Structure 1
Amino acid sequence: MDRQTASATFPSTAAAVADARRFVRKVLADWGVDEAADDAVLATSELATNAIAYAGTSFEVSCRLEDGGIKIEVRDRHPTRGIEMPGVTASSGRGLPSIARLAASWGVSYDRRTKGVWFRLPRPGAAEAAEPGTAAGQ
């Protein structure tokens, strides 16, 4: 199967979260994998919100249709390491745990200038695809 990719960059504004959701929904519809759109849109919304709230920079949403899965990454321009999971009594910070429940796998990647948080959903009708050598949250 040919792998397909699509990406778009969004400004650090509240309206950009809705724009990112629409982008992901349209891309998945164009690829014929609408069945995965609700989970993909929810997870993208959480990551886009985090990029705006914590990085305060523009962010890029990349979608990739792979054998067995759909990988979506939100990459911001704030490469600081350290993504924390909330404590039991925390009143916020539920986005990453929600993604961990929705996704087949997820993780974080860094380079000198950016930080990306990605998740992979199984492609509807295909066997679950895991990235070799990764574990959820690693």
Structure 2
Amino acid sequence: MDDVMDGYGEAGAGRTSLGVMTLHPLPESVPRARRWFRKFIAPYGIACSLDDCLLMLSELVTNAILYGQAKGEWRVRVEWWRDGTSLRVDVHNPGLPDKVRMRQAAADEAHGRGLCLVSALADSWHAGPSRFGGTMVSFVVADAWP
């Protein structure tokens, strides 16, 4: 079973953890991530588009599941934070950070547009090493709160 914890995680200076979930690297974890994020972000009254956040979350969790690699059992970790008026969502997996890159998918390709969508919808996004090992990809929505 996946774990979801509301209000749990590490907070940095000026940053407040709003929630954490761990997901099995299975396709059904993508809609589960959307459901849990929607449930646990609702009490915080975000002013940005929840649908845009859910789409970006879906893309990053899908990528984490598709490209994560580990020798044994592993999980995708999702954390969300309030940083001033901004919302930040981090997605961690045991893949290699240098493999994350935005690409231009051909018109007839079914995949390859996830990071392009995130780049278009988020105020910023970042990929790099995860503090848990592996890769972390995040997006930030500025002015998520008034």
The match for 1:93 is 112
Runs of 4+ aligned structure 1 residues displaced above 6 Å come to none
Aligned residue pairs, count: 126
* Residue ranges of structure 1 left out of the alignment (5+ in a row): 127-138
Tell me how far 1:84 sits from its aligned partner.
2.6
Tell me how far 1:5 sits from its aligned partner.
2.6
Instruction: Note the aligned Cα RMSD (angstroms).
Output: 2.2
| Correspondences of 1:1-138 after superposition (within 5 Å) | 3-33=16-46, 35-55=48-68, 57-87=74-104, 89=106, 91=109, 92-111=111-130, 113-124=133-144, 126=146
Aligned sequence identity (%): 27
| 8 Å contact kept, 2:34–2:57 | yes
| 8 Å contact kept, 2:15–2:81 | no
The match for 2:11 is none
Moved more, 83-92 or 5-14: 83-92
Give secondary structure in 1 for the equivalent of 2:99: coil
TM-score (norm 1): 0.80
Instruction: For 1:6, give the aligned amino acid.
Output: G
TM-score (norm 2): 0.76
Cα distance in 1 for residues equivalent to 2:112 and 2:16: 33
* Residue ranges of structure 2 left out of the alignment (5+ in a row): 1-13
